[in-house]
């Protein structure tokens, strides 16, 4: 009888100890999980610190000289990647761009808060990417007051977003303001072709205006004696 009672007590103590051990282990796991979760949240906040939204737009804004990557890899600008992924440029227009625009530079004024920019800029990115001319593009983001903080909007006489300006050196080829006529790629290719036509006419006119010289006679030593127009 004494042996039986002792065994029962030992068994009860063992069970009690096991329960305590299990509870303790569960508690430690819970604490560890909370610690890891807290660290992850803190780390996320550290790398994705949000910029305060404006009272007028209710969305995050970028300002100044930016890149396409600033828009592609930021969760706040989901519209950039979505719009680019869904846009399918016209192949014929892309080929015209490759043939005529490879040496031109493109300056873009946009607002990350502006719905027109959110529609047009992703399409422009896709078009310039397929034409292998992303390196030709310079992006400027403006605030709701149309200020980039660099006064470039005044330099290029920009009054609305989005605005896409194409340059041949320092000479403006043309611009797309607010919306396209047909499509981004068609409008750019058409703009470049019309510019080349104008430039060709100008070159012809300059050539026609130049004096035409012919050699009347030449001395034996090879010097020109006279030039007659």
CATH 3.40.30.10 assigned to domain 64-208? The reply is yes
- For the chain, give every domain's residue range: 1-49, 64-208
Tell which wins on pLDDT, 107 or 39. 107
Question: What would the pLDDT profile of 137-186 be if each residue is shown by its tens digit?
Answer: 999 999 999 899 888 889 999 999 999 999 999 999 999 999 999 999 99
Question: What would the pLDDT profile of 100-146 be if each residue is shown by its tens digit?
Answer: 999 999 999 999 999 999 999 999 999 999 999 999 999 999 999 98
Question: What would the pLDDT profile of 41-95 be if each residue is shown by its tens digit?
Answer: 343 333 333 344 454 455 678 999 999 999 999 989 999 999 999 999 999 999 9
Rounded CA separation 80/70 (Å): 10
Contacts of residue 98, Cβ cutoff 8 Å, sequence gap at least 6: 131, 132, 133
Q: Global pTM?
A: 0.66
What pLDDT is attached to residue 11?
Answer: 43
Contacts of residue 62, Cβ cutoff 8 Å, sequence gap at least 6: 70, 71, 112, 141
């Amino acid at each position: 009888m004494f042996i039986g009672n002792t065994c029962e007590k030992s068994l009860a103590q063992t069970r009690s100890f096991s329960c305590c051990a299990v509870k303790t282990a569960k508690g430690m796991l819970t604490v560890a999980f909370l610690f890891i979760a807290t660290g992850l949240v803190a780390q996320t906040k550290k790398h994705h610190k949000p910029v305060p939204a404006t009272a007028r737009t209710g969305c995050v804004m970028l300002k100044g000289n930016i890149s396409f990557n600033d828009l592609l890899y930021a969760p706040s600008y989901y519209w950039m990647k979505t719009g680019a992924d869904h846009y399918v440029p016209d192949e014929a227009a892309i080929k015209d761009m490759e043939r005529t625009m490879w040496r031109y530079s493109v300056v873009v004024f946009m607002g990350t808060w502006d719905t027109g920019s959110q529609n047009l800029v992703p399409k422009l990115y896709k078009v310039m990417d397929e034409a292998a001319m992303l390196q030709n593009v310079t992006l400027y983001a403006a605030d709701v007051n149309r200020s980039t903080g660099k006064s470039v909007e005044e330099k290029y006489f920009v009054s609305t977003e989005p605005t896409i300006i194409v340059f041949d050196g320092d000479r403006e080829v043309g611009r797309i303001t607010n919306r396209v006529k047909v499509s981004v790629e068609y409008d750019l290719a058409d703009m470049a072709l019309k510019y080349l036509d104008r430039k060709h006419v100008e070159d012809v006119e300059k050539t026609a205006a130049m004096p035409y010289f012919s050699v009347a006679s030449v001395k034996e030593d090879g010097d020109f004696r006279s030039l007659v127009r």
